[in-house]
Amino acid sequence: MVSLFSGGGGLDLGLEAAGFQSRFSTDIDPFSCATLQRGRSAATGLQLPFMQESVVVNADINGLTSSFIFEASGLKRGEIDLLAGGPPCQAFSVFGKRLGRKDKRGQLVEQYYRLLGELRPKAFLFENVFGLLTVERGRVFEEARKRLANPRPGLHYELSVLRLEAADYGVPQHRDRVFIVGSLEGLKVSSPNPVVHQNANIEEKNLPDLRTVKDGLRGLASPNEVHPKNHTGRLHSQRIVERYAKMQPRERDSHTRINKLDLATPSFTIIVGSDAGGGKGHIHPIEPREVTPRESARLQTFPDWWEFVGEGRHAIRQVGNAVPPLLGYAVGAQILHDVFQIKPRSFEQALTMLAQNHLFPKGG
């Protein structure tokens, strides 16, 4: 696969856990690229396949050419099985101003269309926030469908549109996302089956309950500067500490407008924040403080050995922008099965590879 807008690597990790092999990853953010490179080194030491064959390129996609991608990846036209990526989604998010194409980040989707038409992969995966479906009363989404189905004359992809809730796939967080999958062979991709069920009072195919904040943070030590990385947080004034301490689970702080997590439910969506602020974590469910970038990464299902390069604000932006690896796995596994007729790695194998077994303890 070739990965665009790779960010902190959540989608790449998930797709590789399913069975794809990354050969090229790129992002304009140097900290994200350094994260991918450091992750590759860590995976080597752990004898895991992540990023082992991938060339990581720090570049502005506006100047990225298909000839460069082919040369750097060692692939030829017709050899790319999957083009994956999600152009920056803040322009379409319901949490933002929803400027859509008026936002320069919304225009980056044009570069995805361009490279899709030039690279001509056998399949593609386009990820974005569910707000893409309704911005400009659905006109942006309909335009995206047309452009993705026919990125250039004579090139047609059969599309499958999947709206998925991350919590259904073992992620201890509510996160609503849209995945558009295209197949050059005209094959459709179905929604992956959930691995947990939403209603704790109903047994559904013997599935376990939704994974909660308690599951996500299980076994994680108190914040420290040693292990795992990215596990130090903001310093709060005594006034803020006292205010956070008085809050109830799931209550929103009127000053910072962030929520207090509840151990018994999935996390609220991990968000990025503004370009100026760099993003904030939610409030810890027990301690009167905001969660650390590592705790947010736990709720996104990143392994503890995956280190985010940069200061705290750089780390939380990489975490908040990412596709949860377990959600990426679910989509990747379905694409392997439906488009390529290849048996993906099992969910249990993916849990082990991504160091997420704490989410499903024996007997839990």
CATH dotted code for 2-197+323-359: 3.40.50.150
Q: Which of 17, 82, 89, 316 is labelled catalytic?
A: 89
Average pLDDT, the chain: 91
119 in Cβ contact with 154 (< 8 Å): no
What pLDDT was estimated at residue 200? 55
What pLDDT was estimated at residue 94? 47
Count of CB atoms situated within 10 Å of the CB of 231: 21
pTM of the model: 0.93
5 in Cβ contact with 322 (< 8 Å): no
Q: What backbone phi and psi angles, to 5 degrees, belong to 130?
A: -70, -15
Buried-exposed string 341-362: b where 16+ CB fall within 10 A, e elsewhere: eeebbebeebbebbbbebbbee
What pLDDT was estimated at residue 279? 57
Catalytic residue list contains 89:
yes
Gap between the Cα atoms of 55 and 195, Å rounded: 33
Residues of the chain with pLDDT under 50: 93-96, 98-101, 103, 274-278
Gap between the Cα atoms of 50 and 32, Å rounded: 15
Gap between the Cα atoms of 316 and 297, Å rounded: 8
What pLDDT was estimated at residue 274? 46
Q: Kind and range of the H or E element at 129?
A: strand 123-129
Which class for 49: exposed (0-12), middle (13-18), buried (19 or more C-beta within 10 A)? middle
What pLDDT was estimated at residue 96? 45
